Structure 1
Amino acid sequence: MTNTLNEPPVVRPEQTPHCDDGAAVEIITSREVPLGGLRAMTVYRTLPQRQRSLIGAWCFVDHYGPDNVADTGGMDVAPHPHSGLQTVSWLFEGNITHHDSGDHHAVVKPGEANFMTAGNGICHSEVSTQDTTVLHGVQLWVALPDSARHGERRFDHYVPPVVAVDGGQVRTFIGGLAGSTSPVPTYTPLLGAEILVEPHSTIVLDVNPDFEHGLLVDSGEIDVEGVKIERTELAYTGIGLTRLRIRNSSDTVARTVLIGGEPFNEQIVMWWNFLARDSAELQDMRNAWEEHSERYGKTEGYIGHDPQGLARIPAPVLPEVTIKSRNNPEPIARPDVRF
């Protein structure tokens, strides 16, 4: 998805997340962001924000739906660029067509993960299919380390198996969890999985203590380590945790998405669809897109919903200020944090 970053919201000041016998939990709230034109669908963004910009190398989390396409027009994102990152698309409902300048063409379907690695530069389009009536899922970005961010374009597709665990089921689309390991290569140690929790049940998962984790709630009445997490919120736990407890108190199956990874220690600057190391690099990335440079190539196959719509998305004007690096706080959950 294309993205113009604004200052995000802060944590809920009225709640102090404490648990007498569980790990500390930091709650990251979402903000509503319109995606698209006049009938824009709304996405709920939890990363990045002032409170915490990264969880491992995960630097962007958009959560959307269930969205009635008849009301919003669905998703129609014309070709746009990326540099220095990897996108991860995971759907719950609906289908999206993907075309990119690496000559990769796919239909993103529920339960099937699609990974687009931009490397030095790529452009792509995303459009919900004509038969999609409800659109529901998450769009995630991963910051590439310096060793990979100037590399080649790449696209990976993976259908993770459903693994039954006590209290629910797990689909691990990147990394390893609950005995299932994704074959998709990562550039830093990462984890990504959809977790379904049965009604009035608790799942206890063994997790890597070297990872920090974030659990996004899509549905159900969820608490993490005894701390209640509302829908569209992200529950953050820092490094050192060996077991993660997720409880669903509702009468229906709950859906969550778990992300995690080793703390990403490289400094990054993030603007629009670009991840760089300083403002000068961002300017170079923007100029290359506006000049139709071969750095990003050309997306073939894009057909938008609006015949009069844009053939490609122009870059916004880069602010005439030095964009500062997104320094993360220590990888320790701060249950009493106030903003």
Structure 2
Amino acid sequence: MEVRGRIWFLVLWACLLVMHPTANASSYFVFDLDDTEEDCYTEDVVSRSVNSDVFLHFEILEPAVTDAVDVQLTSPSGRGIQAWSGSKGNHTSILVRESGLYSVCFTKTASSSRRLSILYAFDHASIGSRTLTRYPASVSTILREKPDETTYTELNLETAANGDVQSMGLVQFVFSGVSKSIIHDNTRIMMSFSVEYASVADLGLSVALVAGGLKHPSTWNAMSEHVLAFSGKVTQTMGAKTGGTVFFDITDDVTAAMNAEDYPSIVYSIQVADEGGSARLTGNAHSIMAHYPVITFEDMGLDVMREIGHFRYSVWDLKGELISIIQNERHSRNSTLLPTTPRETLMDAL
């Protein structure tokens, strides 16, 4: 049994090496949580593309029935990305856009044992590399109940229970001075938004291309042609959650605009696709630029590089399975020991 456990550890360590070539690129360790104070760890993430994920695995080793932890993942700008309450463990990957120091904080619940041993693993991966970033020239919200007014710099979205859109966001991006030669066969162009609030998890948000661009002023009445016809122009609907980021692939639209115009620009409306839903997205005022709406041009690289990138995601899932196997095997071995035998630590077992 002991030999087999060590073999599993060697396989797991090999997976860690595959994930990143440098020793400090990922974290994997065990720590004790023995008081009620918050225990935090920071991880440096370089998001080279919008297809960047952080990978987080945590679990209480040999938990009692009442043992649990509260865990919070926070972005470099201080925005909460995801939280787990009263959890014994989790294995997840989360799409992120910011670069910098992410923090993962752990707190014991009141019902937990005096000391908990926590297994912690963190990693990140990106597919492709960013070649150009464009911020919006205009951000605004138009409202059905105030048809002659416009709220600039904000994106507040709402759809009534009967499906009627009550407010929609408008974003305009300008590509003057951008050479058409930047777009290649392996270029992907993404538009992304930071979600400050979503009324439900996985709230559907849709985007629609605005034909003819913005009217000035861009009120509900002035944009009535688009308001009446946008549902037939929706090309994508994506799920959004509070603290997350929502992404839309607009490669074809931007490519067509840049090929057709000498001074190309593009305008989208964004609205809640789910009945009775509402959302607030970060606009372009009084906030950190890392959260602004943004369009990114990305070089996805050679096919073989994309395959390697996707393989790293598969390795992460395998690593989670191996971690659980090692824990269960160690727990099985420990349960066969006499009560007077000193209990092994995880690192001893490995």
Same-fold status (TM-score > 0.5): no
Q: Larger Cα Rg: Structure 1 or Structure 2?
A: 2
Larger relative helix fraction: 2
TM-score range with shorter-chain normalisation? Answer: under 0.3
